[in-house]
Structure 1
Amino acid sequence: MTTMTRAELGALGEQLAVDHLTGQGWAILARNWRCRYGELDVIATDPGTRTVVFVEVKTRSGDGFGGLAYAVPPEKVRRLRRLAGAWLVGQQSHWDEVRLDVIGVRIGRCRIPEITHLQGVG
């Protein structure tokens, strides 16, 4: 197996996260949405509720960096909230709730990637 660049690994992790969400019936509204404050990886709707969910995807190739909870520190959550607000301003639709989730994708020794979905991180 050839080693991937960080960008390739990130893109693969993001696609696996999107596949995971669509497999659960979620609708993907946007991917890699950018504004001057930064980028949102995935914007989706949770079918069970009228919730728009801003998903930060963290892809790892091993066990380093501690757990997924450490991957999105409070300052990152604040930035994601600001980005979410910027995206929402430009939308016609209305959602009952807004949520920040983190999906961790671990691509490593196992043939099947491990996907961890943390809901409501901020």
Structure 2
Amino acid sequence: MAAKDELGRRGEQLAADYLRAHGMQILDRNWRCRAGEIDVVARDGRALVVVEVKTRSGRTHGTAFEAVTGAKLARLRGLAAQWLDGRCERFDSVRVDVVALERFAGEFVIRHEQGVC
């Protein structure tokens, strides 16, 4: 496995663990359809939360959070609707969060931004 792929998988696992530790229930991970992928689908109370996870080993190309574009966030809202399609479960709201992880000296720093769009 390429180092970049391993870093991404590690970041997604850390993000899922972090979200669970902060009271969210993980409903799905790496959900895919023709339109794209949702890294993590979670429940936070009565809210459905789709989470984009970005992991970086440095800031050569900007921060992990800066790597999430407006177009990506808009696509995630559409993907949330597709994920919900055909499910019986209902939510009071839908939220898009970003969990950005950056590795410094072997340790990860996590930034969780809720409701980014």
C-alpha RMSD of the superposition = 1.4
Per the alignment, residue 121 of structure 1 pairs with: 116
| CA distance in 2: counterparts of 1:11 and 1:69, whole angstroms | 17
* Greater mean deviation of Cα atoms: 76-85 or 37-46: 76-85
Gaps of at least 5 residues in structure 2 are none
How many residues align structurally? 116
Where 2:115 maps in the other structure, the secondary structure is coil
Contact preservation (8 Å) 2:56, 2:63: no
Quickly say closer, same or farther: Cα 1:69–1:8, change in 2 above 3 A.
Answer: closer
1:101 maps to what in 2? 97
Structure 1 residues 107 and 90 mapped into 2: Cα distance closer, same or farther (>3 Å)?
farther
Runs (5+) with no aligned partner, structure 1: none
- Taking the aligned partners of 1:90 and 1:30, their CA distance within structure 2 comes to 15
Are residue 51 (structure 1) and residue 47 (structure 2) matched?
yes
Query: How far apart, CA to CA, are the structure 1 residues paired with 2:43 and 2:103?
Result: 25
- Calculate percent identity across the aligned residue pairs: 49
Distance 1:100 1:57 in 2: 11
Letter in 2 for 1:20: Y
How far the C-alpha of 1:103 sits from its partner, in A, is 0.2
Structure 1 counterpart of 2:23: 25
2:73 is equivalent to residue 77 of structure 1: yes
Query: Deviation at 1:9?
Result: 0.5
- The TM-score normalised by the length of structure 2 is 0.91
Q: Which amino acid aligns with 1:57?
A: V
Q: Matches of 1:98 and 1:74 in 2, distance apart? A: 17
Q: Are the counterparts in 1 of residues 30 and 39 from structure 2 also a CA contact under 8 Å?
A: yes
